[in-house]
């Protein structure tokens, strides 16, 4: 939708249009969630939803939506290229939501464009029913909306689109409408220092969680795209030098995760010192035993890292899952990242009561309970 947003804004003063968006995908597909197509009352088309295999069916639905004013959902699955059925030849499935929008949507579309142009993260929430409601969601706005705002902001924090809702809201006892959250921001970044099996496993897990994963290592022999196929990019450079360059270029924000998995002092100490000196980085973790951690802390202090900065270091990184293999360790680390990102307690759910999704005060209370369980009675 980002690509046709300007056209959409320019068309609305001349009359209603039908907006079709891919809201869900399964398997291989020609376009991603949020891909959009506009159909005007005269039948002109802007944008596309596929490589041409479903547009004709969507066009027919769009004309019906323009006439009735009621939104519809079309689903397309696999169809033989030589057969009569309309569908995808790539083997995937897509769900397309088609709604009529008029000039009344202009204020929210103009606000959306301004947020995007200014580089601020924003999400457009759309209820997937016959009479859709829209809502702009930002990290700063914490007002509840239709019971889906928490899930929506989790997607916004991760930088990925998705469908939420369609179940009971435990906090309010009201149905949560099925809602498409279209996120307009770069995905959160995960920067992994090292080129080993633990990095390979965590790159896969990070990718599944919606992170843009970068693997960085100074050893050209080990840092190759072939060895880390799940990573979005593999960089051959000294990790601390790469991170410093990314900070100076403004490509680091509070959603960024940095994990050092090198087991090599000449790599991990400079990288951790660089990461801990940047307050914008949201999570800094390092792999290693408790002995390794103690020795590393002394080296970091000698390198000028302050106690306040060391307080941000998660080392040994990960939750206590008795993880041993690289894949198990990746799950342990990812679980800690998710818990800290959402302000969660990381306690077993069967040791808690009440709703599974809690507000901030409840989360803080659960964290205090968790520390007491662990034998730490600090604030």
What is the model's pTM? 0.64
What pLDDT does residue 240 have?
Answer: 97
> CA 76: distance to chain centroid?
25
Which residue's structure tokens are 């899930």? 151
Q: What residues in the chain have per-residue pLDDT under 70? A: 27-31, 51-53, 78-91, 167-174, 354-379
| d(C-alpha 78, C-alpha 89), whole Å | 6
What pLDDT does residue 83 have?
Answer: 38
What pLDDT does residue 49 have?
Answer: 83
The model's pLDDT over 221-246, given as tens digits with 9 standing for 90+, comes to 999 999 999 999 999 999 999 999 99
What pLDDT does residue 359 have?
Answer: 46
Is the CB of residue 3 less than 8 Å from the CB of residue 47?
yes
What pLDDT does residue 205 have?
Answer: 96
- 89 phi/psi in degrees, rounded to 5: -85, -10
Question: Residue 99: enclosing H or E segment and its boundaries?
Answer: strand 93-101
What pLDDT does residue 333 have?
Answer: 97
35 contacts: CB under 8 Å, gap ≥ 6: 1, 21, 22, 47, 48, 49
């Amino acid at each position: 939708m980002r690509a046709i947003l300007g056209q959409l804004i320019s068309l609305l003063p001349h009359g209603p249009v039908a907006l079709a968006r891919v809201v869900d995908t399964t398997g291989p597909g020609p376009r991603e969630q949020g891909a959009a197509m506009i159909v005007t009352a005269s039948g002109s088309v802007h944008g596309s939803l596929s490589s041409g295999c479903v547009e004709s069916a969507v066009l027919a639905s769009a004309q019906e939506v323009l006439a009735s004013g009621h939104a519809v959902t079309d689903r397309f699955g696999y169809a033989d290229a030589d057969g009569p059925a309309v569908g995808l030849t790539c083997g995937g499935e897509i769900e397309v939501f088609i709604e009529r929008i008029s000039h009344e949507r202009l204020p929210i579309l103009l606000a959306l464009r301004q947020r995007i142009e200014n580089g601020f993260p924003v999400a457009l929430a759309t209820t997937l029913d016959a009479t859709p409601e829209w809502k702009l969601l930002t990290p700063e706005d914490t007002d509840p909306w239709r019971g889906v705002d928490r899930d929506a902001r989790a997607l916004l924090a991760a930088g990925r689109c998705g469908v939420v809702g369609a179940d009971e809201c435990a906090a309010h006892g009201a149905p949560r409408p099925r809602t498409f959250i279209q996120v307009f921001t770069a995905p959160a970044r995960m920067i992994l220092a090292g080129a080993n099996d633990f990095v390979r496993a965590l790159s896969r897990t990070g990718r599944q969680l919606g992170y843009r994963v970068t693997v960085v290592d100074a050893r050209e022999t080990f840092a190759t795209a072939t060895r880390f196929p799940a990573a979005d990019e593999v960089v051959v450079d000294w990790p601390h030098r790469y991170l410093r360059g990314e900070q100076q270029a403004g490509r680091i924000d509070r959603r960024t995760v940095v994990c050092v998995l090198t087991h090599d002092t000449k790599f991990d100490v400079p990288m951790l010192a660089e990461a801990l000196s940047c307050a914008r980085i949201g999570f800094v973790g390092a792999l290693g035993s408790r002995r390794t951690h103690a020795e590393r802390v002394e080296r970091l202090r000698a390198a000028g890292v302050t106690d306040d900065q060391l307080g941000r270091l998660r080392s040994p990184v990960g939750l206590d899952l008795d993880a041993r293999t690289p894949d198990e360790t990746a799950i342990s680390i990812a679980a800690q990242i998710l818990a800290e990102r959402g302000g969660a307690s990381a306690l077993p759910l069967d040791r808690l009561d009440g709703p599974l999704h809690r507000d901030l005060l409840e989360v803080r209370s659960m964290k205090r309970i968790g520390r007491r369980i662990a034998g730490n009675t600090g604030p």
